[in-house]
Amino acid sequence: MADGDRQALWEPCGEGAFQRTTEVKVVWIPYFHYIGNMEEDIVIRSLAALAHNLRLRVFRMLVVAGPEGLTPGAIAEQLDVPGATLSFHLKELMHAQLVTQERDGRNLIYRAAFAHMSALLGFLTENCCQGEACLDTPPTACKC
């Protein structure tokens, strides 16, 4: 802002009193509310993506496939879905950061995003049992 463009502003200078100023002040207002290492909007997007039966089946299939991942052709064949339908659902899973895509020559390889999956599980169980000891259950997080 050039000096000629500054407008006089009024700012508080005591109880009920104001003074003129030409200073521009920046006020920082937090936009995101962080909980742990994940933002709520990412958690909501991830859970919404998994709320569809085909996307949940694709994601679980990619988790089983592990770091090697699968091609869209292999996924479509195993699930018996058209390629265009699968492409749409893979895009939604990628947008939710649950799946990664890598080009290998002429093929696309899709993999489950294990770090994101573990962070999502951690977010969901962060305050489990209100800090008390939980029931003895086997760990559910992937060791990948």
Please tell me the predicted confidence (pLDDT) of residue 124: 86
How far apart are alpha carbons 51 and 12 in whole angstroms?
A: 51
**Domains in the chain, start-ordered, CATH in brackets?**
38-126 (1.10.10.10)
| pLDDT tens by residue, 93-121 | 999 999 999 999 999 999 999 999 999 98
Q: Please tell me the pTM assigned to this model.
A: 0.67
Between 30 and 59, the higher pLDDT residue: 59
- Mean pLDDT score, 58-74: 97
Please tell me the predicted confidence (pLDDT) of residue 74: 97
Buried/exposed 70-97: b ≥16 CB within 10 Å, e otherwise: bebeebbeeeebeeeebeebbebbeebb
Please tell me the predicted confidence (pLDDT) of residue 31: 43
* CA dist 8 → 16, 102, 129 (Å): 19, 56, 55
CB-side neighbour CA atoms (13 Å) of 96: 26
Please tell me the predicted confidence (pLDDT) of residue 1: 46
How far apart are alpha carbons 114 and 65 in whole angstroms?
A: 12
pLDDT level of residue 123 (50, 70, 90 thresholds): confident
On whether the CB atoms of residues 111 and 62 are closer than 8 A, the answer is yes
Classify burial at 127, counting beta carbons within 10 Å of its beta carbon; exposed 0-12, middle 13-18, buried 19 or more: exposed
pLDDT(140) > 80 = no
Q: Which one, of 99, 114, 121, lies nearest residue 36 by Cα?
A: 121
| pLDDT tens by residue, 8-55 | 555 556 665 555 655 555 544 444 444 445 688 899 999 999 999 999
